[in-house]
Chain A
Amino acid sequence: MNIIVCIKQVPSVTNVQIDPKTGRLKRDGVESVINPFDEYAIEEGVRIREKVGGKVIVITMGPPQAESALREALSRGADEAFLISDRTFGGADTLATSYTLSSAIKFIGNYDIIICGKQASDGNTAQVGPGVAEMLNIPHVAYVRKIELLSDKSIRVERIMEDGYDLIESPFPTLLTVVKEINNPRIPSLRSKMFSKKAFIRILDAATIGVDAKKIGLNGSPTQVMKIFTPPQRNCGEKFSGDAKDIAVALVRRLSELGIV
Chain B
Amino acid sequence: MVMDYMLSEEEQMIVETARTIALEKMKPLREYYDEKEEFPWDIVKEFAKADLFATYIPEEYGGFGKGVMGLVLVVEELCKVDGAISLSLAATALGAFPILIAGNEEQKKKYLPDIALGKKIAAFGLTESGAGSDATGMTTTAIKDGDYYILNGAKCFITNGGDAETYTIFAKTNHSRGARGISCFILEKGDIGFSFGKKEKKMGIKASSTRELIFNNCKIHRCRLLGREGQGLMIAQTTLDNSRPGVAAQALGIATGALNEAVNYARKRVQFGQPIASFQAIQHMLAEMATEIEAARALLYASARMIDSGKVKRTSKESAMAKLFCSEVAMKVTINAVQIFGGYGYTKEYPVEKMMRDAKITTLYEGTSQIQKNEIALNLIKEYVTKSKL
A contacts, CB < 8 Å to B? 186-191, 193-194, 197
The answer, among B10, B14, B20, B54, for a CB contact under 8 Å with A187, is: B20
* Max chain B C-beta neighbours (<10 A), residue from A188, A190, A194, A197: A190
Q: How far is the CA of A187 from the CA of B25 in the complex (A)?
A: 10
Q: How far is the CA of A197 from the CA of B10 in the complex (A)?
A: 9
Q: Is the Cβ of A190 less than 8 Å from the Cβ of B9?
A: no
The 8 A CB mask of B1-21 against A (1 = contact, 0 = none) is 000000001100110110011
**Is B282 close to A, CB under 8 A?**
no
Q: Is the Cβ of B51 less than 8 Å from the Cβ of A191?
A: yes
Closest to B74 in A: A190
Q: Is the Cβ of A187 less than 8 Å from the Cβ of B51?
A: no
Assuming A194-B10, A194-B64, what are 17 further A-B pairs, CB within 8 angstroms? A186-B49, A187-B20, A187-B25, A187-B50, A188-B17, A188-B50, A189-B17, A189-B49, A189-B51, A190-B13, A190-B14, A190-B17, A190-B54, A190-B55, A191-B51, A193-B13, A193-B16
Q: Is the Cβ of B50 less than 8 Å from the Cβ of A189?
A: yes
Tell me whether chain A's interface is mostly helix, strand or loop, or mixed.
Answer: helix
Q: How far is the CA of A189 from the CA of B21 in the complex (A)?
A: 10
The 8 A CB mask of B355-373 against A (1 = contact, 0 = none) is 0000000000000000000
Which chain B residues border A193 with CB–CB below 8 Å? 13, 16-17
Q: How far is the CA of A9 from the CA of B47 in the complex (A)?
A: 29
Q: Is the Cβ of B52 less than 8 Å from the Cβ of A190?
A: yes
B contacts, CB < 8 Å to A? 9-10, 13-14, 16-17, 20-21, 24-25, 46, 49-52, 54-55, 64
Q: Is the Cβ of A187 less than 8 Å from the Cβ of B13?
A: no
7 pairs of A and B residues whose beta carbons are closest in the complex: A190-B51, A189-B51, A193-B13, A191-B51, A189-B50, A190-B17, A187-B20
Which chain A residues border B24 with CB–CB below 8 Å? 187
Which chain B residues border A191 with CB–CB below 8 Å? 51, 54, 64
For the complex formed, measure the closest distance between the CB of A67 and the CB atoms of chain B, giving whole angstroms.
15
Tell me whether chain B's interface is mostly helix, strand or loop, or mixed.
Answer: helix
For the complex formed, measure the closest distance between the CB of B270 and the CB atoms of chain A, giving whole angstroms.
29
Which chain A residues border B51 with CB–CB below 8 Å? 189-191
* Max chain A C-beta neighbours (<10 A), residue from B9, B14, B17, B21: B17
Q: How far is the CA of A194 from the CA of B13 in the complex (A)?
A: 8
Q: How far is the CA of A194 from the CA of B9 in the complex (A)?
A: 9
Closest to A196 in B: B13
Q: How far is the CA of A253 from the CA of B260 in the complex (A)?
A: 58
The answer, among A187, A188, A190, for a CB contact under 8 Å with B64, is: A190
Q: Is the Cβ of B21 less than 8 Å from the Cβ of A187?
A: yes
Which chain B residues border A189 with CB–CB below 8 Å? 17, 49-51
Q: How far is the CA of A186 from the CA of B45 in the complex (A)?
A: 13
* Max chain A C-beta neighbours (<10 A), residue from B10, B51, B52: B51
Which chain B residues border A188 with CB–CB below 8 Å? 17, 50
**9 residue pairs A–B, Cβ–Cβ below 8 Å:** A187-B17, A188-B17, A190-B13, A190-B50, A190-B51, A190-B55, A191-B51, A193-B13, A197-B9
For the complex formed, measure the closest distance between the CB of A178 and the CB atoms of chain B, giving whole angstroms.
21
Which chain A residues border B54 with CB–CB below 8 Å? 190-191
For the complex formed, measure the closest distance between the CB of B55 and the CB atoms of chain A, giving whole angstroms.
7
Q: How far is the CA of A217 from the CA of B51 in the complex (A)?
A: 42
Closest to A192 in B: B51
Which chain A residues border B21 with CB–CB below 8 Å? 187
Which chain A residues border B9 with CB–CB below 8 Å? 197
Which chain B residues border A197 with CB–CB below 8 Å? 9, 13
For the complex formed, measure the closest distance between the CB of B155 and the CB atoms of chain A, giving whole angstroms.
32
For the complex formed, measure the closest distance between the CB of A58 and the CB atoms of chain B, giving whole angstroms.
19
Q: How far is the CA of A194 from the CA of B59 in the complex (A)?
A: 13
For the complex formed, measure the closest distance between the CB of B29 and the CB atoms of chain A, giving whole angstroms.
15
Closest to B24 in A: A187
Q: How far is the CA of A193 from the CA of B18 in the complex (A)?
A: 12
For the complex formed, measure the closest distance between the CB of B116 and the CB atoms of chain A, giving whole angstroms.
10
For the complex formed, measure the closest distance between the CB of B72 and the CB atoms of chain A, giving whole angstroms.
15
For the complex formed, measure the closest distance between the CB of B349 and the CB atoms of chain A, giving whole angstroms.
29
Which chain A residues border B46 with CB–CB below 8 Å? 187
Q: How far is the CA of A189 from the CA of B18 in the complex (A)?
A: 10
